Amino acid sequence: MSDDYAPPQDPLTILHDDHQVLLVDKPSGLLSVPGKGPHLADCLLTRVQAAFPMALLVHRLDRDTSGVMIFALTPHAQRHLGLQFEKRQTKKTYIARVWGEMAGKTGTVDLPLIVDWPNRPKQMVDHETGKQAVTDWRVVRAKDGETRVKLMPRTGRSHQLRVHMQALGHPILGDPFYATGEARDYPRLMLHSETLQFRHPDGGQGMRITAKCPF
């Protein structure tokens, strides 16, 4: 990451909070956690902790991805939610705008991923040593040379949705790592975490929280 990190200064958008969990809508361009160096200290975690000092990290979103992020407000909630993510019991739905008009209405990408060490943090498909990564997709609308698509990851690999869409020949618009040419020339990464389904740490009730897509 370069020195030109200039995160948006939008006020915190709280989607839900109670005695155990806090869900917020992360803006695009803001790190989830601090990066290396004082110029990368501003992040969603520190902003959340300024308002909710007890907040604990559960998962992350890429800097350029917007949408639903959950924080725990107790150690019990952090353990409970952490296990749900680890055991793939949470369900996430993303909205993306991708380059080109996708053929077909639904499909699944099953391509194993590994970090591309010389170019990290980029990831790449590797059938020999990559870790399993699976993404279901469903077209919402395809016209004017692009497609609006819902992405439902079954696994949670770094950059999974971005690499999987690129592998299909439909990179996510505005992606600084995986898009090229006109597909890259957008004001932001067109990827948004729209919904998160999980079980509440106090009693196990199913919850579904949504953040409205900004594009």
Residues known to be catalytic? 62
Q: Which of 10, 74, 32 is nearest to 193 (CA)?
A: 32
Partnered with residue 91 across adjacent β-strands are 197
Tell me which residue has tokens 């949408």: 67
DSSP for the chain?
Answer: --TT-----PPP-EEEE-SSEEEEEEPTT--SS--SSGGG---HHHHHHHH-TT-EE-----TT-EEEEEEESSHHHHHHHHHHHHTT--EEEEEEEEES--SSSEEEEE--EEE-GGGTT-EEE-TTTPBP-EEEEEEEEEETTEEEEEEEESS--TTHHHHHHHHTT-PBTT-TTT--GGGG-SSS--EEEEEEEEE-TTT--EEEEE-----
Phi, psi dihedrals of residue 15, rounded to the nearest 5°: -95, -30
